[in-house]
């Protein structure tokens, strides 16, 4: 995987598409945890402005599709400024984690304004979840998998803390299957990491390397370039 430090991009735009899904790079850039932390500390005050309304249709659609049951224990990975926190039903128990203290502070303020009582917030690295195995009925990662340094490790942790029969759900933008657009996304990715995401995360390579077998993959938002990936822990 190419280091973010030198901001190199893959010279052949078709490398990732032509190589084996089990071994190919998930993105043309890689990031360190410290870099991600600094980015989100920096953009926390403007996050809602840039990523609030533009992605909210997908959040609303996903909350409905989560079909959360009363007393369900839900883990939200990458709770950010708490935009989802005010959308959950009152009769479930939600834990929201985030790496950024500034983002979590924004979430606390939002929850206070809306009187949310069933969501607890914790500062935590998604790749090192401090929860026992099988702690949650539903583990949900909205718009975060293309942010983290190691998406495969994060989803493995999500699966570990999910109860057998529970669901692991990822909402994210992935590399386009339309090759000309994929080339553009790869070219943009070394720049988009500075505003909080990789534009070229490879869905098929991600699923293969994380050993995920989705029960459904649906498109959400407009334009419909974001995918809602639902898996059930067997």
Residue pair 134/9 in contact by the 8 Å Cβ criterion: no
pLDDT at 127: 96
**Per-residue confidence (pLDDT) for residue 33, from 0 to 100:** 93
- Distance separating alpha carbons of residues 37 and 196, to the nearest angstrom: 10
Instruction: Look at residue 19 in the predicted model and tell me its pLDDT.
Output: 63
Q: What is the CATH number of the domain that holds 207?
A: 3.40.50.150
Q: How far apart are CA 121 and CA 80, in angstroms?
A: 10
DSSP class of residue 3 equals B
- How many domains does the chain contain in total? 1
Residue 158: is it exposed, middle or buried by C-beta count within 10 angstroms (0-12/13-18/19+)?
A: buried
pTM of the model: 0.88
* pLDDT at residue 196, rounded to an integer: 87
Residue-level pLDDT at 50 = 84
Contacts of 147 (CB under 8 A, 6+ apart): 36, 40, 78, 196, 197, 198
- Distance, in Å, from the CA atom of 21 to the CA atom of 198, rounded to the nearest integer, reads 18
Which strand (E) or helix (H) includes residue 177?
none
Confidence (pLDDT) at 11: 32
Site of tokens 């893959």: 10
Would you state the pLDDT for residue 63?
A: 92
CA–CA separation, 38 vs 200, rounded Å?
21
Give pLDDT tens digits along the chain (234 positions).
323 333 333 333 344 444 688 889 999 999 999 999 999 999 999 999 888 888 888 899 899 999 999 999 999 999 999 999 999 999 999 999 999 999 999 999 999 999 999 999 999 999 999 999 999 999 999 999 999 999 999 999 999 999 999 999 999 999 999 999 999 999 999 999 999 899 999 999 999 999 999 999 999 887 788 899 999 999
Q: Which domain holds residue 110?
A: 4-232
pLDDT value at residue 143: 93
Q: 129 is written with which tokens?
A: 């979840």
């Amino acid at each position: 995987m190419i280091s973010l430090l030198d901001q190199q991009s893959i010279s052949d735009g078709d490398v990732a598409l032509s190589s084996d899904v089990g071994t190919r790079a998930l993105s043309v850039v890689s990031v360190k945890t410290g870099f991600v932390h600094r980015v989100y500390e920096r953009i926390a005050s403007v996050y809602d402005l840039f990523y609030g309304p533009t992605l909210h249709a997908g959040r609303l659609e996903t909350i409905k599709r989560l079909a959360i049951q009363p007393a369900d224990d839900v883990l939200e990975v990458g709770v950010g400024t708490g935009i989802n926190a005010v959308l959950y039903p009152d009769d479930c128990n939600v834990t929201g984690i985030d790496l950024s203290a500034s983002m979590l502070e924004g979430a606390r303020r939002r929850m206070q304004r809306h009187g949310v009582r069933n969501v607890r917030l914790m500062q935590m690295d998604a790749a090192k979840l401090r929860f026992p195995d099988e702690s949650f009925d539903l583990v949900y990662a909205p718009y975060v998998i293309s942010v983290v340094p190691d998406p495969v490790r994060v989803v493995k942790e999500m699966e570990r803390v999910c109860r057998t029969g529970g669901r692991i759900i990822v909402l994210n933008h992935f590399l386009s299957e339309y090759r000309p657009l994929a080339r553009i996304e790869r070219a943009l990715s070394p720049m988009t990491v500075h505003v909080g995401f990789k534009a070229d995360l490879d869905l098929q390579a991600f699923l293969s390397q994380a050993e995920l077998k989705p029960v459904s993959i649906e498109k959400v938002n407009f334009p419909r370039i974001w995918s809602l990936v639902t898996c059930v822990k067997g």
